[in-house]
Protein backbone atom coordinates (compact mmCIF):
# COMPACT_ATOMS: atom_id res chain seq x y z
CA UNK A 1 0.00 0.00 0.00
CA UNK A 2 1.28 3.45 -0.92
CA UNK A 3 0.68 6.59 1.15
CA UNK A 4 -1.02 9.21 -0.98
CA UNK A 5 -1.45 12.75 0.33
CA UNK A 6 -4.16 14.40 -1.69
CA UNK A 7 -7.05 16.80 -2.17
CA UNK A 8 -10.15 15.32 -3.83
CA UNK A 9 -10.71 18.50 -5.87
CA UNK A 10 -7.21 18.51 -7.35
CA UNK A 11 -7.05 17.36 -10.98
CA UNK A 12 -3.44 16.09 -10.63
CA UNK A 13 -4.45 14.14 -7.51
CA UNK A 14 -7.42 12.66 -9.34
CA UNK A 15 -5.11 11.57 -12.17
CA UNK A 16 -3.05 9.66 -9.60
CA UNK A 17 -6.25 8.08 -8.23
CA UNK A 18 -7.28 7.02 -11.74
CA UNK A 19 -3.82 5.64 -12.48
CA UNK A 20 -3.71 3.68 -9.23
CA UNK A 21 -7.15 2.20 -9.91
CA UNK A 22 -6.14 1.27 -13.45
CA UNK A 23 -3.00 -0.46 -12.19
CA UNK A 24 -4.80 -2.04 -9.22
CA UNK A 25 -2.56 -0.23 -6.73
CA UNK A 26 -4.05 0.27 -3.30
CA UNK A 27 -3.56 3.76 -1.91
CA UNK A 28 -3.55 4.77 1.73
CA UNK A 29 -5.32 8.08 1.11
CA UNK A 30 -4.35 10.89 3.46
CA UNK A 31 -6.41 14.01 3.05
CA UNK A 32 -4.45 17.27 3.26
CA UNK A 33 -5.96 20.41 4.74
CA UNK A 34 -4.27 23.25 2.87
CA UNK A 35 -6.20 25.90 4.81
CA UNK A 36 -4.64 24.58 8.00
CA UNK A 37 -1.20 24.56 6.35
CA UNK A 38 -0.69 20.81 6.67
CA UNK A 39 1.34 20.82 3.45
CA UNK A 40 3.82 23.21 5.07
CA UNK A 41 4.49 21.34 8.31
CA UNK A 42 8.06 20.05 8.70
CA UNK A 43 7.04 16.38 8.69
CA UNK A 44 5.24 16.72 5.38
CA UNK A 45 8.01 18.74 3.80
CA UNK A 46 10.51 15.98 4.61
CA UNK A 47 8.73 13.34 2.50
CA UNK A 48 8.86 12.45 -1.22
CA UNK A 49 7.98 15.79 -2.86
CA UNK A 50 11.22 17.45 -1.76
CA UNK A 51 13.31 14.66 -3.25
CA UNK A 52 11.34 14.80 -6.50
CA UNK A 53 11.93 18.54 -6.71
CA UNK A 54 15.59 17.90 -5.92
CA UNK A 55 15.78 15.49 -8.85
CA UNK A 56 14.04 17.84 -11.26
CA UNK A 57 15.53 21.15 -10.12
CA UNK A 58 19.02 20.19 -8.99
CA UNK A 59 20.24 16.71 -9.88
CA UNK A 60 18.84 16.25 -13.40
CA UNK A 61 19.18 19.97 -14.07
CA UNK A 62 22.91 19.68 -13.41
CA UNK A 63 23.07 16.85 -15.94
CA UNK A 64 21.19 18.84 -18.58
CA UNK A 65 23.17 22.04 -17.96
CA UNK A 66 26.52 20.29 -18.26
CA UNK A 67 25.98 17.59 -20.87
CA UNK A 68 23.29 18.93 -23.24
CA UNK A 69 25.38 21.82 -24.63
CA UNK A 70 28.18 19.33 -25.33
CA UNK A 71 25.88 16.79 -26.98
CA UNK A 72 23.50 18.99 -28.90
CA UNK A 73 25.48 22.19 -29.54
CA UNK A 74 28.98 20.65 -29.65
CA UNK A 75 30.18 23.14 -27.03
CA UNK A 76 33.19 22.42 -24.82
CA UNK A 77 32.66 21.13 -21.29
CA UNK A 78 32.21 23.87 -18.70
CA UNK A 79 34.12 23.08 -15.46
CA UNK A 80 31.87 25.41 -13.44
CA UNK A 81 28.81 23.41 -14.50
CA UNK A 82 30.63 20.19 -13.60
CA UNK A 83 31.06 21.54 -10.06
CA UNK A 84 27.25 21.83 -9.86
CA UNK A 85 26.98 18.12 -10.63
CA UNK A 86 29.39 17.38 -7.80
CA UNK A 87 27.39 19.60 -5.46
CA UNK A 88 24.16 17.81 -6.43
CA UNK A 89 25.77 14.43 -5.74
CA UNK A 90 27.08 15.73 -2.41
CA UNK A 91 23.49 16.61 -1.48
CA UNK A 92 22.21 13.21 -2.59
CA UNK A 93 24.99 11.52 -0.64
CA UNK A 94 23.89 13.47 2.45
CA UNK A 95 20.20 12.59 1.90
CA UNK A 96 21.18 8.92 1.88
CA UNK A 97 23.27 9.14 5.07
CA UNK A 98 21.72 6.57 7.41
CA UNK A 99 18.82 5.91 5.01
CA UNK A 100 18.15 2.93 2.79
CA UNK A 101 16.25 5.07 0.29
CA UNK A 102 16.34 8.73 -0.75
CA UNK A 103 13.38 9.74 1.43
CA UNK A 104 13.89 7.39 4.38
CA UNK A 105 13.57 3.67 5.01
CA UNK A 106 10.89 2.92 2.41
CA UNK A 107 11.05 2.90 -1.35
CA UNK A 108 9.19 5.85 -2.87
CA UNK A 109 8.56 7.26 -6.32
CA UNK A 110 11.46 9.63 -5.62
CA UNK A 111 13.84 6.65 -5.67
CA UNK A 112 12.54 5.68 -9.11
CA UNK A 113 12.92 9.21 -10.47
CA UNK A 114 16.39 9.62 -9.01
CA UNK A 115 17.38 6.13 -10.20
CA UNK A 116 16.66 7.10 -13.79
CA UNK A 117 18.73 10.26 -13.35
CA UNK A 118 21.66 8.61 -11.58
CA UNK A 119 21.74 5.82 -14.15
CA UNK A 120 21.89 8.48 -16.88
CA UNK A 121 24.95 9.98 -15.15
CA UNK A 122 26.38 6.46 -14.99
CA UNK A 123 25.84 6.03 -18.72
CA UNK A 124 27.59 9.35 -19.31
CA UNK A 125 30.65 8.05 -17.44
CA UNK A 126 30.23 10.08 -14.24
CA UNK A 127 32.12 8.48 -11.32
CA UNK A 128 29.40 7.65 -8.80
CA UNK A 129 31.85 5.69 -6.60
CA UNK A 130 33.15 8.99 -5.15
CA UNK A 131 29.82 9.21 -3.27
CA UNK A 132 29.66 6.09 -1.07
CA UNK A 133 26.04 6.45 0.07
CA UNK A 134 24.88 7.05 -3.49
CA UNK A 135 26.94 4.12 -4.78
CA UNK A 136 25.45 1.78 -2.15
CA UNK A 137 21.90 2.98 -2.86
CA UNK A 138 22.50 2.69 -6.61
CA UNK A 139 23.59 -0.94 -6.34
CA UNK A 140 20.43 -1.73 -4.37
CA UNK A 141 18.23 0.26 -6.77
CA UNK A 142 19.58 -1.67 -9.75
CA UNK A 143 17.66 -4.69 -8.40
CA UNK A 144 14.27 -2.94 -8.66
CA UNK A 145 11.70 -4.11 -11.18
CA UNK A 146 12.13 -2.26 -14.45
CA UNK A 147 15.89 -1.80 -14.10
CA UNK A 148 16.65 -3.62 -17.36
CA UNK A 149 14.31 -1.43 -19.40
CA UNK A 150 15.69 1.67 -17.69
CA UNK A 151 19.26 0.62 -18.55
CA UNK A 152 18.26 -0.03 -22.17
CA UNK A 153 17.10 3.59 -22.29
CA UNK A 154 20.41 4.75 -20.81
CA UNK A 155 22.26 2.85 -23.52
CA UNK A 156 20.08 4.52 -26.17
CA UNK A 157 20.89 7.93 -24.71
CA UNK A 158 24.57 7.01 -24.49
CA UNK A 159 24.68 6.90 -28.29
CA UNK A 160 24.60 10.72 -28.23
CA UNK A 161 28.00 10.64 -26.54
CA UNK A 162 29.55 8.53 -29.30
Q: What is the mean pLDDT of residues 40-67?
A: 84
Question: How high is the pLDDT of residue 77?
Answer: 96
Would you call 119 a catalytic residue per the annotation? no
Q: Walk me through the domains of the chain, giving residue ranges and CATH numbers.
A: 2-43 (3.40.30.10), 47-161 (1.20.1050.10)
Range in 55-59, 114-118, 129-133 the model is least confident about: 55-59
Q: What is the mean pLDDT of residues 39-61?
A: 80
Q: What is the pLDDT of residues 5-26, one digit of tens each?
A: 888 877 777 877 888 888 888 9
CA distances from 63 to 1, 24, 37, 89, 144 (A): 33, 34, 34, 11, 23
Asked if the model's pLDDT at residue 160 lies above 70, the reply is: yes
Asked if the model's pLDDT at residue 153 lies above 90, the reply is: yes
Question: How high is the pLDDT of residue 2?
Answer: 78
Q: What is the pLDDT of residues 68-107, one digit of tens each?
A: 999 999 999 999 999 999 999 999 999 999 999 998 888 8
Amino acid sequence: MVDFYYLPGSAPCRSVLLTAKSLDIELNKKLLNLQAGEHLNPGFLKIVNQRLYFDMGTLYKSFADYYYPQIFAKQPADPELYKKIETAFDFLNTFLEGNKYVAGDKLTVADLAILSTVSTFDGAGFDISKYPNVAKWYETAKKLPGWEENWEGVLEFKKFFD
